[in-house]
Structure 1
Amino acid sequence: MTNISQNTHNQGEIPSSGLSPLPQWGLILVEGSDAASFLQNQLTNSVLGLRRTFSPQIAESYAATRLVGYCSPKGRLLASAWITLVPVSESSDDRFALFISKDIAASIAKRLAMFVLRSKVKITDVSNQMTISGYFSASSEIAEFEINDSAIGLRLPDVFVNSQSYGRILVAQENAVPTEDHSMINTWNDLEVQSAIPRIVLATQEQFVPQMINFESVAGVDFKKGCYPGQEIVARSQYRGVIKRRLFLAHTDRAADLGLFGPGTELFHSLDPSQPAGMVVLSSPSAQDLNRLDLQVECKLEALEKGEIRLGSAQGPVLKIDALPYPLIEI
């Protein structure tokens, strides 16, 4: 079976904390008296019972923020997002914030709006009006981070790298101009990859049933909730055990052309190079070794049993598979 290594880097150190602009992230607001029931019928995860969070509080834990997916009728993910409930005031209607990849935010907002019909719901893509930033820090320090009264903030699951746990907070605010620091941006991106929690981007839309990228294992699917687009296919995949592909962490130490292997790049297996064996979900240069590329990859399970998995082509860099930071829910 392909060697699975522990997720440790030996060169350099990850900064202990930092604030990074996130130009790849966008924001959709869904508000109105029917917003909760509307989203409940559209997303893979339940939004009912989400705890209201009022700025400058930061939403954290499953009670206040959840990973959600939005599927096509064929059960393929059109989008993933982090959702939280952030009404403007105690007396105002519900307002849900969905932190989503910016390159798909406009199209997803437009698609959701097609199904509003007579519901009292307003859907707005505010990606160009709000600046999205990411703050990361050693978990013991993360509680000290503050946002202003008009910002929206939610805490993502911690990431454990090199015996250190890093907390992460997404922040959306108007008229913010965060200082660009490429090392901070790269660190955030690498921590996101190492979390092994997928994010759908334009290049990977409609490529995956949720379980193919471990969505159910990172609490992105509620199998007890009601119907949503693609629900029957997602449920069938879960209970009939038909998933033969999974998301894994991987890396390559080849320095050349690392920037060419972004999301959507195909993987090839040495024993069957005529057809793709998987796809890159996310990738980032390592925060500790810029000659190393860290990746989330979706791959056929049988491809891990023997032979080599190569990146981009049958002659591309060899991938080394790393351990996941969470157990997979068996299907």
Structure 2
Amino acid sequence: MIDWLARLGGRQEDEERIVFDTPTPARLAMDATVMTPLVHLGILDVSGDDAERFLQGQTSAQVSLADGHFAPLTCFCTPKGRVLANAQLWRVAEGHYRLLMHRSLVVRLHDHLKKFAPFYKAELQLRDDLALIGLIGREAPAVAEARLDVLPPTAWHQANADDVQVLAHPGPRPRLLACLPTERAEETWQQLSDQATPVDNAVWRLHDIQAGLTWLNADQADAYLPQMLNWEALGGISFKKGCYTGQEVVARAHFRGQVKKRLVRGQLEGERLPALGSAVKDANGKGLGEVLSAALDAYGQAEVLAVLSTREAAEPLDVDGQQFKRLQLPYPLERLDPESLAAAT
């Protein structure tokens, strides 16, 4: 994937970041249609006669809802209810499911799930042969319809065209994610470039932050209950399905109101991006939590998502000497059943 991007002007700064020479990319995404390679994300496939039954016992999603149209958020937990990986699930074909997550967790989740796969007619496959391209902008749906030959879906749904799946994600501007074979990526990128400008994939990560959505990486796994990521408010937990690994702890935390930390959106008064894991401290220097996601916004200020204690804190808060200003999340902190999301289409 990197080879074709290099031919088209992309530069790899590290394993998770591709940059282009486009000036002010975050600001451009506010007014124009942009596209970006989502190299920080990865894919794991689950297929076979028992694929649905296998996943049903492992993941927080009601797998039957992933019907080729609805593509729900989900997560995989330890028996103690801690998130090993949070993901988006969709159905490619009968008995063939696809999971989108942070690239650093694909192998780790594969190795975790393969311990249980021999008990089912199910196979796991690391999909290094797939490319992920993001479109952002008011005209992104029209561009996708014209260049990818799909009717754009609504948020957390999918549309399909041959061997391409297009998924819609929420955010301050319409966002679409195209998953396609790597051998088609360069041609598709060139077709999209007639109507979309290439930008760094940090722009997509900024829109995730503004959507109140974080994708855990390998360093953050096995540390948080799903509710600490606001996962039930995003429709990522079915409380109507049967048992899955960690379900008892997750359900108890929900019904007894025992969630002591929550994902919070904020802005730092400065242009310095904090390292992931940086402590958020109150006015007395006491740690309240840590930064999970960070990106520079259109005005050059750092926006972050952090998991913080829900207890009352002495203001102002700060991260590495930069004041932390709380920003409103774009969704209420209340349970959103994926069943209702699926039925709304």
TM-score, normalization by structure 1: 0.80
The aligned counterpart of 2:176 is: 168
Secondary structure in structure 2 of the residue aligned to 1:36: helix
| Partner amino acid, structure 2, of 1:155 | A
Q: Which one of the candidate residues 149, 165, 168 is aligned to 2:162?
A: 149
- Tell me the equivalent position of 1:102: 103
CA distance, structure 1, for counterparts of residue 32 and residue 44 of structure 2? 30
Match in the other structure for 1:90: none
Q: CA deviation at 1:207?
A: 1.7
Classify 1:187/1:77 alpha carbon distance in 2 versus 1 (closer, same or farther; 3 Å): same
Q: How far apart are the structure 1 equivalents of 2:232 and 2:77? A: 14
Contact 1:152/1:173 (<8 A) preserved: no
Task: Say if 2:34 and 2:199, in contact at 8 Å, map to a contact too.
Answer: no
For residues 252 and 15 of structure 1, the distance between their equivalents in structure 2, rounded to whole angstroms, comes to 24
User: What is the number of residues matched between the two proteins?
Assistant: 289
CA contact (8 A) 1:18 1:184 kept: no
Match of 1:299 among 305, 308, 323: 308
* Matching of residues 1-331 of structure 1 within 5 Å: 12-13=27-28, 14-52=30-68, 63-87=69-93, 93-126=94-127, 128-138=128-138, 141=142, 144=145, 146=148, 149-156=162-169, 158-160=170-172, 165-175=173-183, 176-177=185-186, 178=189, 183-256=199-272, 258=273, 261-271=274-284, 273-274=285-286, 276-286=287-297, 288-290=298-300, 292-303=301-312, 305-312=313-320, 316-329=321-334
Distance 1:188 1:235 in 2: 32
Divergent runs of 4+, >6 A: 179-182
CA contact (8 A) 1:201 1:263 kept: no
Q: Write the distance in 2 (CA, Å) between the matches of 1:142 and 1:279.
A: 38
Q: Distance in 1 between matches of 2:198 and 2:323?
A: 27
Give the conservation status (yes or no) of the 8 Å contact 1:29–1:123: yes
TM-score (norm. length: structure 2): 0.77
Larger relative contact order (Cα-Cα within 8 Å, sequence gap ≥ 6): 1
Deviations along 1:127-177, whole A, 9 cap, x unmatched? x22222211221663652516632233222x313xxxx4233242422224
| Alignment gaps of 5+ in structure 2 | 1-25, 150-160, 336-345
Report the identity percentage. 24
Query: Structure 1: any 5+ residue segments left out of the alignment?
Result: 1-10, 53-62, 88-92
Native 8 Å contact 2:270 2:322 kept in 1: yes
Whichever residue aligns with residue 149 of structure 1, its letter is D
The SS at the match of 1:217 is coil
Shift of 1:184: 4.2
Output the aligned Cα RMSD.
2.4
Secondary structure of the 1:109 match is helix
Structure with the largest fraction of helix:
2
Separation of aligned partners in 1, 2:165 and 2:247: 30
- The SS at the match of 1:218 is coil
Cα distance change on mapping 1:183 and 1:253 into 2, 3 Å? farther
Instruction: Tell me which amino acid in the other structure corresponds to 1:319.
Output: F
| SS of 2:239 mapped into structure 1 | coil
Describe the SS at the equivalent of 2:311.
helix
Alignment partners' CA distance in 2, 1:172 and 1:279: 35
Cα deviation 1:69-88 (Å, max 9, x = unaligned)? 0111110111011110011x
User: Aligned equivalents of 1:226 and 1:199: distance in 2?
Assistant: 25
Measure, in 2, the Cα distance between the counterparts of 1:183 and 1:118: 44
